[in-house]
Amino acid sequence: MIQLNLDSIADKPTRDALQSLLDALSGLPFLQGDGEFLELTVKGNPADLKVPHRLRRRPKDVLVTSLIGPATVTFNYDRFTKDLISVTASGAPSPDSITKIRFFLGSFKEN
């Protein structure tokens, strides 16, 4: 979460406004978890492709933000580890077909 030293702000209306903003942001699920954005390029239809991540714990959530290309991508959650995730692509018309996936990987904090 965002850390600000509001005590160092002398102007009370500014300090109160910033505190209000921080309070509002603290309720957003995207800011309550930990994670990283990744971009992956896959060729053809790989099965159980192992992709390293830097979380140092097993991620629980994947949020795909972009998928460009002919393949359908499946995240194999049951094969995730503290170091790797597993991805399977299918439906690409040829072994040379390229599919790019951008996604958020992490664990949202539960309410």
Do 65 and 43 lie in a common domain? yes
Do 21 and 59 lie in a common domain? no
Number of other CB atoms surrounding residue 106 within 10 Å: 20
Question: What gap in Å lies between CA 62 and CA 57, rounded to an integer?
Answer: 14
Do 103 and 72 lie in a common domain? yes
The position carrying tokens 């192992």 is 50
pTM of this structure? 0.72
Q: State pLDDT tens for residues 25-47.
A: 776 666 666 789 999 999 999 99
Instruction: Decide: 57 and 102 in contact? Cβ < 8 Å.
Output: no
Do 12 and 24 lie in a common domain? yes
Do 67 and 80 lie in a common domain? yes
Do 24 and 55 lie in a common domain? no
Do 82 and 70 lie in a common domain? yes
Do 10 and 37 lie in a common domain? no
Instruction: Decide: 34 and 107 in contact? Cβ < 8 Å.
Output: yes
Per-residue model confidence (pLDDT) at position 23: 82
Per-residue model confidence (pLDDT) at position 34: 75
Q: In the predicted model, what is the mean pLDDT of residues 15-23? A: 89
Amino acid at 81: T
User: Which domain covers residue 16, as residue numbers?
Assistant: 1-32
How many domains are there within the chain? 2
Do 69 and 52 lie in a common domain? yes
Do 4 and 18 lie in a common domain? yes
Do 52 and 26 lie in a common domain? no
Do 100 and 52 lie in a common domain? yes
